[in-house]
Amino acid sequence: MTYLHNIGAYFLMIKDMFRKPTKWSVMKTLIFKDIDDLIMGSLGIVAFISFFVGGVVTIQTALNIDNPLIPKYLVGFATRQSIILEFAPTFISIIMAGKVGSFITSSIGTMRVTEQIDALEVMGINAINYLVFPKFIALMLYPFVISIAMFLGIVGGMAACYFGGYSSINDYIIGIQTDFIPFHIAYAFIKTFAFAFLLATIPSFHGFYMKGGALEVGKASTTAFVWTSVVIILLNYILTQMLLS
């Protein structure tokens, strides 16, 4: 029953997110602040992880291809497919559920604990629109982060190829151009938009409706991370089945 109640409350929160909008002059400032916190603040870690995971994917692929009949360009091909289809959109989103999700839950949760949300509501402000909507809009720029992750993942693979001597740069470039299906990029970005919505709303839900004190803020952040990850993985399966099968 609690799960059903929470699912219902989550959808009601989403409905409230679009009701009685906050004044644009105020909302604009909140959106820019959230773009800075959630998008710009994540670029460093995303770039670092993407570059090195791209490298690791390349090394592992190359080491598993020991048959001389398999062409060397397959390393680039496999890296591209792994990065674009799965690593950048899905696994970066799981990492973002930890980084951005816990930030959202703890900041909104702290506002709940210190009665700042009550203060907003007493003033007649739609607190859900004020707090969640700017995060939702800011995270609509999330595909920009994923584009960088895709690019750096492939560059990381190329660097690993070059420095590890697994294949030549030319072979790698041929590999990343082989059998390229543009819809795979569309598929990755459709997933990214869906995950961005989850990243904005599930942690906000856990922060907004938390009860208790400082300790519960920490617990709510952990719960938000777990649920955001679970829903991302489930939705990833459903979207993949729908779009690629």
* Cα–Cα distance measured from residue 232 to residue 135, given in angstroms and rounded to the nearest whole number: 18
Site for another protein in 126-155 (CB under 8 A): 126
Q: Does 28 bind another protein (CB under 8 A)?
A: no
Distance in Å, CB of 37 to another protein, minimum: 11
Ramachandran region, residue 104 (left: φ > 0; alpha: ψ -120 to 50; beta: rest): alpha
Nearer to another protein, 40 or 234 (CB): 40
Q: Does 23 bind another protein (CB under 8 A)?
A: yes
Q: Does 167 bind another protein (CB under 8 A)?
A: no
Q: Does 36 bind another protein (CB under 8 A)?
A: no
> Which of 1, 68, 69, 124 lies at the binding interface for another protein (CB under 8 A)?
124
Distance in Å, CB of 114 to another protein, minimum: 6
User: How distant, in Å, are the alpha carbons of 73, 169, 178, 229 from that of 80?
Assistant: 11, 14, 10, 24
Cβ(216)–Cβ(112) below 8 Å: no
**CA proximity to 80, closest of 168, 193, 180:** 180
Among all chains, which residue has been given the structure tokens 């105020």? 26
Distance in Å, CB of 110 to another protein, minimum: 8
- Burial state string for 123-138 with b = 16 or more CB within 10 A and e = fewer than 16: eebbbbbbbbbbbbbb
74 burial type by CB count under 10 A (0-12 exposed, 13-18 middle, 19+ buried) = middle
> Which of 10, 13, 74, 116 lies at the binding interface for another protein (CB under 8 A)?
116
Q: Does 37 bind another protein (CB under 8 A)?
A: no
Distance in Å, CB of 188 to another protein, minimum: 34
Q: Does 26 bind another protein (CB under 8 A)?
A: yes
Q: Dihedral (C-alpha) 227, 228, 229, 234: value to the nearest 10 degrees?
A: 90
Q: Does 2 bind another protein (CB under 8 A)?
A: no
| Residue 83 DSSP symbol | I
> Which of 48, 63, 115, 244 lies at the binding interface for another protein (CB under 8 A)?
115
Among the listed ranges 50-58, 112-120, 170-178, 230-238, the one in contact with another protein (CB under 8 A) is 112-120
Q: What share of the chain is helix, strand, coil (3-state, %, to 5)?
A: 85, 0, 15
> Which of 11, 20, 181, 233 lies at the binding interface for another protein (CB under 8 A)?
20
Q: Does 69 bind another protein (CB under 8 A)?
A: no
Nearer to another protein, 114 or 168 (CB): 114
Q: Give the interface with another protein as residue ranges (CB under 8 A).
A: 19-20, 22-23, 25-26, 114-116, 118-119, 121-126
